[in-house]
A and B are shown apart, each in its own frame.
Chain A
Amino acid sequence: MFRHTPLRYGVLVLLAAAALFQAFTAEYFGLEILTEILILAMLVLALDMVAGFGGMVSLCHGALMGVGAYAYAMLTTKAGIAPPVAMAGSVAITGAAAWVIGAVCARSHGIYFIMATLAFGQMAYSWVFEAPVFGGDDGLGGIARLDLTMIGLDLTDSRSFALFCLFALGAAYGATVLILRSGLGRSLSGIMHNEQRMRALGLTVWRVKADVFGLSGMIAGLAGALAAQHIMFVSPGLLGWTVSGEALVVVILGGLGTLVGPLVGAAAFVVLKHELSAVTPYWHLVVGVILIAVVMSRANGIFGWVEARWGARIDRRVADATRKQQPGEVVSDA
């Protein structure tokens, strides 16, 4: 079950501080990288919700992000709908698509679940690639960003857009925590630990899985709507299975089932990608070696390793410090 430990809170605060520092001090290129990290972080957050807390390892989350991006692009450029409504619409459309995928795949497990979600993702990719209405392989351009000038935020400016993405990621993280702490989230955790028993207790397992998959899809859709606004262009590549694969790599690299870990993974992955690609075109090889090392080390990703090494010690110290600050104990000491 999801628990926020002092270490997790600490890392979250550090990540938020680093992102804010980067948002206020970086130049254009640095801001573009930050925005890329924030959007990827949102996608992997959505994936960790279902994979890390429900055992549903999805290979269609990239496609879901693509659905969100295309939905936003279509609603704004073709239907002429205002960006705020289009954004809400793209989130709802992606959530509905994800719910259907979740409902269909809920009865499969392990490799079969992975393959079924991959098939859904590839179907979406093929449709978008082939259908002229979506612009085919040329994609769709001229996508507008949200207009928040009424609150003094010009999102055409990279800094403002990065800050907006940071705010959206914070909201998505908060929503994910609330979902995992809700009855639905607790039941999802129960299903991951023992699906047969949850069913024997009277839970309609497929429905819980589909509902959480739909909610996760909404977050992926939000990431997609932001991705479309970020590059102001969408192409079928957004829905490719490699995007889903990359998201899974980031979740494993950061720490599956920790929520905080995938955020760390997203930052590490994007920074590594940019730093290594400046040195060698074979940067995927290096990332591959790192991923193999992480998996072989049996630690649960970068954050999992930190948590296993220092988590218990930090949590104990915080608990001791909290106890010492309790008024009753201060009086007795005196």
Chain B
Amino acid sequence: MLETRNLDKSFGAVHVTRNVLLKLERGERRVILGPNGAGKTTLFNLLVGELTPNSGSVHLAGEDVTALPVAKRARRGLSRSYQKNTLFDGLTVEENLGLAAAVHTGHATRLWSDSLAKPEVREIVAEVAEQVRLMPFLHAKVSEISYGVRRQLEVGVALATRPLVLLMDEPTSGVGPEMAKGFHDLLNGLPRDLTLLIIEHDMDLAFDVADTITVLNYGEVVFDGLPEEARGSKLLKDIYLGSWEDA
């Protein structure tokens, strides 16, 4: 469903992504681990087109999308949520979801009808609000909801475009343990045919949700395998998991 071939990116002398090879099957849930500065978010930016690679390619559902801009990749089914909330702050939760659903249904550029009032859009809004547990907050403005609920909305907005592949950049970033537990259930409740690629520092969530795990270090893939293999990997313990296992 999503594949990268020798994806490489440098900023001047700093090599942030080195020949990254990834292959995600339809419905696969992969978690990307790695210490700070490993190039995880850069990889996401390369995948969605916010950055252009120096070399290598990105393939979505068999099509080479490397040359496509962000919006076109999104329309082909590649959606993302951000590490820092990137929402429509002055608008309500319902409007946030509605804007995303309107783009997906093609109502976002129509002049003769209100996109947010369209039944198809309202249906998606209701469905996604249910999936990410936002029903009680639909009419609240983003500025009126808690940080944790905003993280749910961040994922909801990405989901409302009905993606084939959803990239989530630290969905539980900044939320407490209780809320993080809620996120496990939320992610496990997403449709099984949706391909998920998640950057996560919360190891419990990573091992709970992931079908496969990829570890990046200094921009390079140093591990690619099953969660059980990741737990036993000495290399991983050395570069990342040591502190978690000891804790």
Contacts and interface: CB of A to CB of B under 8 A. Distances in A.
A204 B98 CA distance: 17
Contact of A194 (B71, B86, B161): B86
B114 A197 contact: no
The 10 closest A-B pairs by CB, nearest first: A183-B115, A202-B74, A183-B110, A193-B88, A202-B75, A190-B99, A183-B107, A187-B108, A201-B103, A202-B103
Contacts of B48: 200
Interface string A191-230: 0011011111111110110010001000000000000000
B143 to A, nearest CB: 11
B196 interface: no
Residues of B in contact with A, size category: 20 to 34
A20 B79 CA distance: 53
Given A193-B91, A197-B157, A187 B111 contact: no
B103 A182 contact: no
A270 interface: no
B109 A208 contact: yes
A8 interface: no
Given A1-B91, A201-B100, A202-B75, A196 B111 contact: no
Interface of B: 48, 50, 70-72, 74-75, 79-80, 86-91, 95, 98-100, 102-104, 107-116, 157, 161
Contacts of B108: 183-184, 186-187, 203, 208
Interface of A is mostly: helix
A179 interface: yes
A300 B107 CA distance: 31
B161 A211 contact: no
Contact of B104 (A183, A202, A207): A202
A190 B88 contact: yes
A189 interface: yes
Contact of B80 (A198, A200, A204): A200
B95 A1 contact: yes
Given A194-B88, A197-B157, A186 B112 contact: no
Contacts of B98: 186
A275 to B, nearest CB: 37
B214 to A, nearest CB: 22
Interface string A157-198: 000000000000000000000010111101101100110111
A202 B108 CA distance: 10
B113 A187 contact: no
Nearest to B92: A1
Given A1-B95, A183-B110, A203 B71 contact: yes
9 contacts: A179-B111, A181-B114, A182-B112, A183-B108, A186-B99, A193-B89, A194-B86, A201-B103, A203-B71
A211 B107 CA distance: 15
A215 B109 CA distance: 13
Contact of A186 (B75, B90, B114): B114
Contacts of A183: 102, 107-111, 113-115
A198 B48 CA distance: 13
Nearest to A204: B71
Nearest to B117: A181
B10 to A, nearest CB: 23
A181 B118 CA distance: 12
A241 to B, nearest CB: 30
Given A182-B114, A183-B109, A183-B114, A189 B91 contact: yes
A201 B111 contact: no
A186 B75 CA distance: 18
Contacts of A1: 91, 95
A16 B110 CA distance: 30
Contacts of A194: 86-89
A211 B110 CA distance: 11
Contacts of A199: 70-71, 74
Given A186-B102, A187-B99, A193-B91, A200 B74 contact: yes
